[in-house]
Structures are given as structure tokens and as C-alpha cells.
Copies of this chain bind each other. A is one copy, B any other.
Amino acid sequence: MSLIVQKFGGSSVANAERVFNVADIVTSKYKEGNDLIVVVSAQGDTTDDLIAKAKEINPDASKREMDMLLTAGEQMSASLLAMAIEKLGFPVVSLLGWQAGFVTSSAYGNARIKRVVPDRIRKELDKKNIVVVTGFQGLNRYDDMTTLGRGGSDTSAVAIAAVMHADLCQIYTDVEGVFTADPRKVPGAKKLSTISYDEMLELATLGAQVLNNRSVEMAKKYNIELEVLSSLSRVPGTIVKEETKVEKMLISGVAKDENIARISIIGVPDKPGLAFKIFSKLSAKNINVDIILQSVGRNGTKDISFTVGQDNLKAAIEMLNPYAESLGASSVVYDENVAKVSIVGAGMESHPGVAAEMFEAMFEANINIQMISTSEIKISVLIAAEDADKAVTAVHNKFFAEAMKA
């Protein structure tokens, strides 16, 4: 008998038929004698529909009221799932985030889970109830509803798994697991049977929309084994866990991120501290900077280029235009037609030739590289957006040719 946490995303409970599909997955595990905690997101487009309703009334609504509105989404899906489980004849209870003991920071719209006090969950499990919990939400110290930000239901599931010492945490989604590249785009992309936390983190950061980043960080911290799998196909997914020497793969995947823009500040006076000042300013505005490239100085000036998320582009440019002028730079230019292609693999730490192989694949595909960034287990290149899919396929073929033959 095990304690299993299962998390189902919005598409897994999008309509009555899907809700019953989930109820069937849950109860089949319960029938085997397991304790079940089921974390559920809002149905299908509910969250987007609610956001649209709010925007119609007040595009600048406070985040507190937005959270009050949005938390109703999981409340509805959790109770409907509980009703489906009742219909199948099993004991069940649905709990809101606050009833399940989720205490969060007070940052509305993007709260962090501070702790989980699972007294009520324990009581319900003792009564042999299947416990359905609303993901994505909690209560802050003012006794107000908060949301964890997009993808937060994954984090809810991992947090509950950690605090309850669950034997397994299954994240059900609309893909069958973690693939070496996006299977809809790259023919021959293969599902990984396992991947390490660090590799998963890099992939998530790089735009592979499988698991929410915070949830992987938390799983790593508390050593919770995750399984990413599909609620529709009923085949084993990908296990995310601590890496072992034996399993260390050279490359575990290729990812692409098109939500990115390049900004260049041209003709910055070549004085110490200016780069620091610029990036401090951006950081103070909560604008995350990714790849950074600084040209070698000439004529006493240099160019500083970096990438930001496209959603931050407008704010960054508005801030930089007057600021760059005040620093004595000549101009600020930007390009939205860029994409970042990355390879991730715990094995590359000990294989220095990986970067060269990646650049070779790009050269063979006649793709120009604009910027490069590397970490111990990741290599990213910035290229023109129209080359992105071609680049992913070329790099994937380079590293997974053998696997694809298998």
C-alpha cells in the first residue's frame, strides 16, 4: 500500500468525458489499495475565460481580486471530479487549497508555497477518502486567496508529495512524457524513460512546456520522484529523479524557445561598471536577462547585447531608451525575430566536444549563430526565428541518429 499523489492538468479534465477518464485512473489506483491525493487544475480554458471576463471589466484589476476570481476555477473542477468519483462508487472529498493547508507568501498572482499543513488531508485519508485538492492556490497570512502563477498546480502536487512523504508523484499532462525534442515538430524524437532533475530544469527553462520549473526545483530539493505521463494514453511516462552515474546521458534533449527578443545597446562608453548598472536597472524592474554578449571595445565604446522574454521587451525598451542616453550610449536596437535552441545533457560536463558538434550541425544546415551561452549541462544558441525548427531537427539528428535507428 502506497501513498500516491496524482496531478491532472486542465486539458485532462476539460469536459465531462475527460473528468470520468481521470476518475477512472484515480480509482483504479485506489482499488489496488493505495491512498490517493489528487491535485487538479481548472478545466480546459476556464482560467483564460475568467481572465477575459476580468479584462472586460477592468484590465488593471488588482492582483488580489484576480486571485479571488481565478481560484474559483479549480474549485469547480475539483468538485466536479469528486462528483465523478462518487458516481463510480468510491469515497471522496474535495478540498480547497486553504482546506488542504497550503500557506503561501502574500504575492498575489505569483505566490510561493511557504508550508503545507496537511492535518485535514490526513484526516480524510484516515477515513479512506480519495482526497481531491485544488492546485495552483493557497491562502496567505492575511487569510486571502492566492495563486501560484501558471503551472502552479505542478508545484502544489510536489509540495503535497514532499510533506506527506508520498511514494510517487505522477504529473498527468497532454504529452506522454519528456522527449528528446518536440515530437510534433521533430520526426524521430524519442521519449526518455528517465531524466535527472537538473536536465529537466534546463529543459523547462529553455521552453519545453512539460513541467513547471518550480515544481522540479522542489522535487529535487525534497528528492521526490516524479513521473510525467499522459492521462489519455495509459502508457508509462518519463521518470524525473536524481541522476545516477550509469544513466548519465550525453544529451537528453533539444529545446526551442521562441518567446525571446534580442536587445543591443550600441556605443556604450568603455568604462567599468556600466554593464553592471544596466543589468541592475533591468533586474529592479523584474526583467530577466538571459544570454549576454559584450563586444570588445573599440574607439572607447562597446556594444552590449542580451536577450529578454518577449513579454518584457516593451518595458525593457521604455526603460533603456532614456537610460542609455544618460549613460552616453548612441542607440538601443532590438530584434524580436529570434529564437533560442538549446541542448541539455548531464553527460556533456565530461565531453568537451559537444559544443563543437552542435555548431557543426548548425553549419551543415547553413544556420547563422548570433549568440552563444553555455552552462555545465546546457548549450544555447540564438538564431533567426525562421531557422528555429530546421535547427532543432539538425541538432536532434546529430545527437540522436543512433537512437532513432533503434
The residue that A61 contacts in the complex, of B57, B61, B86, with Cβ under 8 A, is: B86
In A60-90, the 8 Å CB interface with B consists of 60-62, 64-66, 68-69, 71-73, 75-76, 78-80, 82-84, 86-87
User: Taking the complex as formed, is A19 at the interface, i.e. its CB lies under 8 A from any CB of chain B?
Assistant: yes
Chain B contacts of A60 at CB under 8 A? 86-87
**Could you tell me the dominant secondary structure of chain A's interface residues?**
helix
- The copy count of this chain in the complex is 2
Closest chain-B Cβ to A64's Cβ sits at a distance in Å of 7
Indicate if the CB atoms of A68 and B94 lie closer than 8 Å: yes
Shortest beta-carbon distance from A126 to chain B in Å: 14
List chain B residues, Cβ under 8 A from A83. 54, 57-58, 61-62, 65-66, 69
Cβ-defined contact, B68 with A82, below 8 A: yes
A75 touches B64 (CB 8 A): no
* Interface contact B79-A69, CB-CB below 8 Å: yes
A263 CB to closest chain B CB (Å) equals: 33
The answer to whether the Cβ of A102 comes within 8 Å of any Cβ in the partner chain is no
A146 to B73 alpha-carbon distance, docked (Å): 18
Q: Is the CB of A75 within 8 A of B79?
A: no
Q: Does B54 lie within 8 Å of A80, measured CB to CB?
A: yes
Q: Report chain B residues within 8 Å CB of A64.
A: 93
Complex interface: chain B residues within 8 A of A66 (CB): 79, 83
User: A16-42 interface mask toward B, CB cutoff 8 Å, 1 = contact, 0 = none?
Assistant: 100110000000000000000000000
- A57 and B87 contacting across the interface, CB-CB below 8 Å: yes
Q: Which residues from chain B contact A212 at a C-beta distance below 8 Å?
A: none
**Cross-chain contact B79 with A65 (CB below 8 angstroms):** yes
User: Bound state CA distance, A69 and B72, in angstroms?
Assistant: 9
Count contacts on A: residues with CB < 8 A to the other chain.
38
Q: Is B72 a contact partner of A75 (Cβ separation < 8 A)?
A: yes
A402 adjacent to chain B (CB < 8 Å): no
Known contacts A80-B69, A120-B143; A87/B75 CB under 8 A: no
Q: Does A364 sit at the interface, judged by CB under 8 A?
A: no
A56 an interface residue at 8 Å Cβ cutoff? Answer: yes
Contacting pair B72 A57 (CB below 8 A): no
The reply to whether A86 and B72 contact each other, CB–CB distance below 8 Å, is no
A99 at the interface (CB under 8 A from B): yes
State whether A84 touches B57 (Cβ < 8 A): yes
Decide yes or no whether A175 CB sits under 8 A from chain B: no
Min distance, Cβ A13 to any Cβ of chain B, angstroms:
11
Residue from the set A76, A82, A86 with the largest chain B CB neighbour count within 10 Å: A76
Given known contacts A54-B80, A66-B83, A69-B75, what 8 new A-B pairs fall within 8 Å (CB)? Answer: A19-B57, A57-B80, A57-B87, A61-B86, A62-B83, A65-B86, A69-B80, A71-B75
8 contacts between A and B (CB under 8 A): A57-B84, A58-B83, A61-B83, A65-B86, A68-B96, A69-B83, A72-B76, A99-B143
